[in-house]
A and B are shown apart, each in its own frame.
Chain A
Amino acid sequence: MSQITDEEIAGLIACPKRIVSVDKKMWVDGKFTRQNMVLESVAGQLSFRVFVRCSTEFTENFSIGLVYHPKTEARSATLLRCNGKHGSTKTYPHHAEYHVHIACAEDLNRGILEPRLIETDVNYASFIDARAYFFRRVGIENAEDSFPGTFQRRFPYSDGEPP
């Protein structure tokens, strides 16, 4: 992959996108269910793919990832991946929590295409929550069209009550 900066990676992750195609539903493949999506940036220049995987044996063990496909190169890279609880990580040994993997520029520029930075301070506690979190984080604008009810509605409260 040609040289990239961390700011560019953050921009690729967060830029507004829309779902171009998506498998109708999660389908069973051995011991996990899966669903794939194709995204493009709203500006129409950038192509991405999303993989969604969930273990059928341990439903807390899932992965939702954003893969960037540059148009000028054959190589692709996973920029962000939301994981469920699957056990510890090298950065956080014996730490079995929901976490997010993120690619960094130093790695990509060295040809390391695995997202090795790990964030544990994430705002989801289930697969459904993680999917909503993912859609927000990667800027998918038309997620509700394919996944109705993904984003929990805010109930109207009277003045003075917390939102």
Chain B
Amino acid sequence: MRVTDSLREQFNAQFELVERRPGIQQVCAPLYHEDGDMVDLYLDLPRDADLSPNRLVRISDHGMSLMRLSYTFDIDTENKQRIFERILAENGIREQDGELFLEVPAASLYPGILQFAQAIAKVCNMRYFKREVLADLFDEMLSAFIEKELREFNPEPNVNPLPKREDLEVDWRIQPNGVPVYVFGVKDGSQARLATIACLEFQRSDLKFKSLAVHRGFEDLTKKDRSRITNACDKQFTSLDEFKAHGKAYLQREKSHF
């Protein structure tokens, strides 16, 4: 069988309309979310509708996409709202009272369904913008900044200042002057506590050093974790953006004071 015939046959065979309510047909097609659930697609027309090519047909999700997204992600900030609206605009989708929809002429129903399904997937993938996902990018972004912008200070990754204490590894050693600056990337409370312990142990061992913590989000730490690391660490930047904006200047001052 020719591939085009095979595809035509497969596409036709795996497609069905199921009436969910009078005037609302669910499109059953092999379009699935990552967890194996079928993408929620509906056509707002009677099951036996006779379609002239130019008749407009509404393809809708009846609110299911935002319901699914809300399991683990809420569009609750201006930034998120902006991203959401951009996804809709770029994919030609409209939204009303939480329902996403697309109106197409009947003659374009099939490509319209595929276009709509792709847009739903993009909306549902907004969950990848969750803080915890962005947290994984924090280390990469911090390393990229240090390697590119702080090269003059001879950065060195994954350093163990105390022999036989590999548990007190420092993310970066930077040398603005004769005294090393140990940099800790702090993503969460657990890392804040590790950095605190490391700084206190280095102090106890009479090492000559300065400590610098770069937080993913200082305000996300508990009060106790904030208090502990503030008392143990010499210098902190409350966010990566702050470190990028002022870190180099701080290190240059350290260099000039020596």
Contact = CB atoms under 8 A, between A and B. Distances in A.
B187 A74 contact: yes
Which range contains the number of A residues in contact with the other chain?
35 or more
A55 B67 contact: yes
B38 A88 contact: yes
B37 A58 contact: no
A81 B33 CA distance: 14
A86 B71 contact: no
Interface in B35-63: 35-38, 40, 62-63
A72 B190 contact: yes
B131 interface: yes
B26 A75 contact: no
B149 interface: no
Interface string B100-134: 00000000000000000000000000000001110
Interface string B214-229: 0000000000000000
Contacts of A74: 131-132, 135-136, 187-188
B38 A78 contact: no
B72 interface: yes
Contacts of B98: 29-32
B87 interface: no
B71 A65 contact: yes
B32 A34 contact: no
B44 to A, nearest CB: 11
A115 interface: yes
A57 interface: yes
Interface string B188-209: 1010000000000000000000
Interface in B1-41: 14, 16, 18, 20-21, 26, 28, 30, 32-38, 40
Contact of B30 (A34, A58, A65, A93): A93
A93 B16 CA distance: 11
7 contacts: A31-B98, A53-B67, A56-B63, A63-B71, A72-B190, A74-B188, A86-B38
Interface of A: 29-32, 34, 51, 53, 55-58, 61, 63, 65, 67, 71-76, 78, 81, 83, 86-91, 93-94, 96, 101, 112, 114-116, 118
Interface of B: 14, 16, 18, 20-21, 26, 28, 30, 32-38, 40, 62-64, 66-68, 70-72, 97-99, 131-133, 135-136, 187-188, 190
Given A94-B16, A115-B35, 14 more contacts: A29-B98, A30-B63, A30-B98, A30-B99, A31-B67, A55-B62, A55-B64, A65-B71, A67-B72, A74-B135, A74-B188, A75-B132, A78-B72, A90-B30
